[in-house]
Amino acid sequence: AQSVAQPEDQVNVAEGNPLTVKCTYSVSGNPYLFWYVQYPNRGLQFLLKYITGDNLVKGSYGFEAEFNKSQTSFHLKKPSALVSDSALYFCAVRSWRLGNQGGKLIFGQGTELSVKP
Amino acid sequence: GAVVSQHPSRVICKSGTSVKIECRSLDFQATTMFWYRQFPKQSLMLMATSNEGSKATYEQGVEKDKFLINHASLTLSTLTVTSAHPEDSSFYICSAWDRGLRRTVQRTNTEAFFGQGTRLTVV
């Protein structure tokens, strides 16, 4: 079975400092991994994805993520955090079915990022 | 990027009534859409997969007679919460994949887009 784990419920960072939001996964076959961000009472916004290719993936708003196959991790990072980055972050893996038009996304528990001035 | 529009964003209804939530893909066709439910500060729980022109596929534990899904066209899926009760109060989110067929990218280079969500409160 495929699964995603975000070990931290909350991450606190001072503005200007680097941030990391952790994600580990368990899949059979090649993983398709995603990061989404959610602001209060809003849907999810896509940040970035790893399908294949370079292990370091760059996404929206200055975020990046590193795919590490040996550690089965896909941690989200940003060199310099902003107060406006404060939100709920979800890591997800795509579940494939035969003849599927898109596949289910299996989400981690979510990590609340708080960036203080 | 592709846009998924969800309506209404917020609804309050009386216990026992039914509420319909719409999910539209605005600039792409979606043969499959997904409906999620989210409790405060928790992850998204997949409820069902909506398939255009056929029956929805429900996840284990989700009552199909309670949560009616209709995917009548390639751009619209609806979720109807029937005979709503206070425990149905939640945040409901839909999503759809843009397969990027309009662009010259690999068929696997796709991503899911989410609606804005619907906050349902049953009183």
Phi, psi of A114 (to 5 degrees): -120, 120
Residue B52 burial (CB count, 10 A): 17
Contact list in A for residue B111 (CB cut-off 8 A) is 34, 46, 49
Contact list in B for residue A1 (CB cut-off 8 A) is none
Q: How far apart are CA A95 and CA A100, in angstroms?
A: 10
Q: How far apart are CA A95 and CA B2, in angstroms?
A: 21
Q: Which of B31, B91, B113 sits opposite A101 (nearest CB)?
A: B31
- Do A34 and B111 lie within an 8 Å CB cutoff? yes
Contact list in B for residue A112 (CB cut-off 8 A) is 41
Q: How far apart are CA A34 and CA A53, in angstroms?
A: 14
State how far residue B88 is from chain A, nearest Cα, in angstroms: 17
Q: How far apart are CA A34 and CA A47, in angstroms?
A: 8
Per-residue confidence in pLDDT tens, chain A, 117 aa: 788 999 999 999 999 999 999 999 998 888 899 999 999 888 899 999 998 888 999 999 999 999 999 999 999 999 999 999 999 999 999 876 544 445 788 899 999 999 999
Q: Residue B106 has what pLDDT?
A: 42
Residue tagged 């859409």 (tokens)? B33
Residues 54-113 of A with CB under 8 A from B: 88, 90, 100-110, 112
